[in-house]
Structure 1
Amino acid sequence: MKFTHLLSTLTIGACSLVALASCSKEEGVATNSPKKEEVSAQALAQIKQLGFSTQNITREGDSYLVEGDIRIDAAQLGTTPEYKLMRVGEEEQYRTNNLVTGLPRTITVAVSSTLPSAYVTAADEAIRRYNAEGLRITMRRVTSGANITLTKAPSGSSYLASAGFPSGGNPYSQVLVNSDALGTSYATTTIASVLAHEIGHCIGFRHTDYMSRQYSCGGSAVNEGASTVGAVLIPGTPSGPDPNSWMLACIGTGVNRPFNTNDRTALNYLY
């Protein structure tokens, strides 16, 4: 997930050398990005075969970052998830083919000590939002042995936070949070919105605007692809744009995105 900003040419040009650090922080861009590992042609082909966009892919250790904040482990590249056709011409709520199973069940969430204490408060708010919906999954914060652990992202990461999709009926186990970029100065509700978004990936949700990230991120239109970890239409959600969904790819600075009516329809349909 990334912040979006509408900055005029004058504003960008006004960033002097002295003010460069603060301007970089305002744009949510890391100034000391780690050296990117090369992504092999074979890996690109496998990611494309899975149906994800091959634009701006980065590799971090044994995983690949695609579509801004979605992680694909190297071990998943050779897999063949169930394929389902999807609709790509409208902007609606979508899910992946991989979901958490064994319902009802409790999903435990831990906040690593690598993150500031403000993230514990934000995680509690994100958990509260899910539990308030009366779903067949209940979330509970623990201090160890969690199903999902929120931990600090590598220094210089290009995203606010990142996560992957469920596997084997279990949620993705880790959310990497770029606390250097996100900081602690934003309201708890903003940080909670970012964490709830990434937990959404962990339990099987793709971006609401996956068919055109231009909708929330600006810039040129990018379709995230007909992934075999596919986007499947959820009945009862709208055919028009949903500007306040918690699963939009990008979020504005200081924005709070609690679940809206369409989000609740999607959550209750799946869980």
Structure 2
Amino acid sequence: MPHKRRTHEKPENMKKTMRQLLSYMASYKWGFVIGIVCAVASVSIAVIGPKITGEIITEIANGFMNKVQGIGGIDFDAIKKTCAILLAIYAFSAGMEYAQSFIMATVSNKIGYRLRAQMSEKIDRLPFSYFDSHSRGDVISRFTNDVDTMVQSLNQSLASLVSNIVRIVGYLWMMLSISWQMTLLALLIIPLSLAVVIVITKNSQRFFLAQQNSLGLLNGHIEEMYGAHEIVTAFNGQKKSIEKFEMYNGQLYDSAWRSQFLSGLMQPMTMMI
């Protein structure tokens, strides 16, 4: 029968785990460095865009007022030049963002490919006692779901973390250069947004852990029940098997629904604030 997957999903020594992960990724460090540089370049150049847009609007407003007063008009040549600069800036930013996405996706999936290959080699050396204490669904889940989660984190979270830091610093500098009073007003909502994010993250994290646990149990049950279908049928175990499947499936539905709902609340809540 399937054994319960370990509910203690967090590493016992986070620092040691992170050192091992960084050491494992060392051979791909230049790919990550180039991807991060592209992300920084993309965000840095894009930060300038709103201020240039503001200059275009100011030029139109001043020209309109001059036309009303009969002392001039809108300088369309200056606006065209500024629009060309703005277009070039956003084109360069989009190019850097594409390069960053391509590089990070390539490097992170290479790491996932290498990790699965090494896991496949190691599983052939494991003693039978390991498979007696771990269901096949749990082992398969580690090859698929757990590795995919790590690959997605490397692909999205790392570059997003760096680019968001640069974005915060860049927009803060740009806002201060326009009006420190309006900047101070905007900064007052940051603590409230952080409080909302912390509350949502705390509540959603336990449901994400429960989702992974339920997924391992469900995969293990399906794998073992289909693998031993003749035995289950011979001993009239269909009803018990279906009941257990419905229980695991219900647990997965409940944890997945709650985790996705809470994590989905984060962006609309912060945007509303």
Q: Is this a same-fold pair by TM over 0.5?
A: no
Higher helix share: 2
Could you state the TM-score of these two structures normalised by the residue count of structure 2? Answer: 0.27
Could you state the TM-score of these two structures normalised by the residue count of structure 1? Answer: 0.27
